Amino acid sequence: MIKNIKAREILNSKGNFTVEVELETGQGIFRASCPSGASKGINEAVEIKASEAVKNVNEIIGPKLKRKNPLKQKEIDEMMLELDNTENKSKLGANAILPVSLAICRAGAAAKKLPLYQYINELSGGLTFAGFPRPCFNIINGGAHSGSELEIQEFMIVPNREFFSENLKIGSQVYQELKKSLIKIFGKRAINVGDEGGFVPPISLEREALDLLQNTIREYQNTEIGLDCAASQFYKNDHYQIDGTVFSKNGLMNFYQNLIEAYPLIFLEDPFGESDWESFQEITGKFGKKIIIFGDDLLVTNIERVKEAKKKGTCNGAIIKPNQIGTITGTLEVVRLARSFGWKIMVSHRSGETGDDFIADLAVGISADFIKSGAPARGERVAKYNRLLKIENELK
């Protein structure tokens, strides 16, 4: 039974306050915290001021959940949604509800004496437990995650070796090799890092960043490139501005086609604005058999938007961010639906992270195809990768 729940403010990786919840049961004390994004979809669950979220946990949510059974994850999540009673979690705040939901999940795993990833797999209701996600390392930061002139937000490398530990080693090696190259080309000022640990070199063209990555991964077989375009950030007045050029929707489509033909791309995430369903539909129809088109701001881990995206054929992959929807139950519902469509799944961190490594267990528990947690650097990023190493060792 839940004995006590209390929340406090803690700092995230960007120096902003967020919420940490501490939940006590007979099995011990379980903690969880809530991340925050820089580029947020307009349809995400609402994040309120951290101090208000803490107050809502301590004065509203906590008292209602005392003496509840932490094994009743769905029931407790639904109870919190009823307490909030808004469509977008704006009354209590997603940043109040989510850390409670995650702490409940950890407590439930302990009650059943299961590793967290295995318990999440049970909660998922039959998702095949099929192994490890491929890590996507954000090596060069652009867009809202940096102070650079690059519009594309994340330039990632995606190794594909048999074991996660091998993929992590490649990620680390490429990161260090790129660091040396940047110093040689631009000097030490080029190795400043962005919000997610990737480098922020003094370049302004997307192809320059892609060339740097391609040259660095050339000797590593089965290593591809992924891009989080976060196009809503450079979409204004029905046009897209990138590389100093204003593109129509068709113009940006041609821009992406040239990149797909020139570089070993495995996926594009949010290649168009979150309301530009027509362009998403076109690019998925055109290139969906060659690469993955992931929806992030398009879907915001929201089951109704996922249904709409399937109906319109606007993507073939879903980015999963628990804080976009607010509960572990809601997250797993979206994963099950996306899986039923045959979509690829990527579990994702946020730019304002904490040391909480829950998403590592989530990615393994739902057998996600990919996980992204930033560069193989900065403590809040590597916490997730190090947790995956531990899980892999447990499963060997």
Q: Based on the residue annotation, tell me whether 390 is a catalytic residue of this protein.
A: no
Asked whether the beta carbons of 8 and 20 are under 8 A apart, the reply is: yes
* Neighbour tally for 8: CB within 10 Å: 15
Q: Binding site annotation covers 173?
A: no
Asked whether the beta carbons of 296 and 44 are under 8 A apart, the reply is: no
Q: What pLDDT is attached to residue 41?
A: 66
Q: Binding site annotation covers 39?
A: no
Q: What CATH number has the domain spanning 2-113?
A: 3.30.390.10
Asked whether the beta carbons of 347 and 371 are under 8 A apart, the reply is: yes
Q: What pLDDT is attached to residue 237?
A: 86
Q: Binding site annotation covers 145?
A: yes
Tokens (6 digits) for 31: 């903690």
Q: Binding site annotation covers 356?
A: no
Q: ∠ at Cα 152 (256, 369), nearest 5°?
A: 80
Q: Which of 20, 44, 47, 196 is catalytic?
A: 196
Q: Mind listing the pLDDT tens digit of every residue in the chain (396 residues)?
A: 999 999 999 999 999 999 999 999 999 999 999 988 655 667 888 999 999 999 999 999 999 999 999 999 999 999 999 999 999 999 999 999 999 999 999 999 999 999 999 999 999 987 776 679 999 999 999 987 677 889 999 999 999 999 999 999 999 999 999 999 999 999 998 999 998 999 999 999 999 999 999 999 999 999 999 999 999 999 988 899 998 899 999 999 999 999 999 999 999 999 999 999 999 999 999 999 999 999 999 999 999 999 999 999 999 999 999 999 999 999 999 999 999 999 999 999 988 899 999 999 999 999 999 999 999 998 899 999 999 999 999 998
CATH architecture classification, 134-395: Alpha-Beta Barrel (3.20)
Q: Which of 321, 344, 353, 384 is catalytic?
A: 321
CA 35 to chain CA centroid, nearest Å: 10
**Nearest in space to 168 (alpha carbons), one of 113, 119, 95, 223:** 223
Q: Binding site annotation covers 381?
A: no
User: Alpha-carbon Rg of the chain, whole angstroms?
Assistant: 20
Q: Binding site annotation covers 384?
A: no
Percentages (nearest 5) of helix, strand, coil residues in the chain = 45, 20, 35
Q: Based on the residue annotation, tell me whether 169 is a catalytic residue of this protein.
A: no
The neighbouring-strand residues paired with 6 are: 22
In the chain, domain spans: 2-113, 134-395
The answer for residues whose C-beta is within 8 angstroms of residue 351's C-beta and 6 or more apart is 13, 14, 36, 37, 38, 39, 144, 145, 195, 196
Q: Binding site annotation covers 348?
A: yes
Tokens (6 digits) for 27: 């099995």
Q: What pLDDT is attached to residue 38?
A: 58
pTM for this entry: 0.96
Q: Binding site annotation covers 276?
A: no
Q: Binding site annotation covers 351?
A: yes
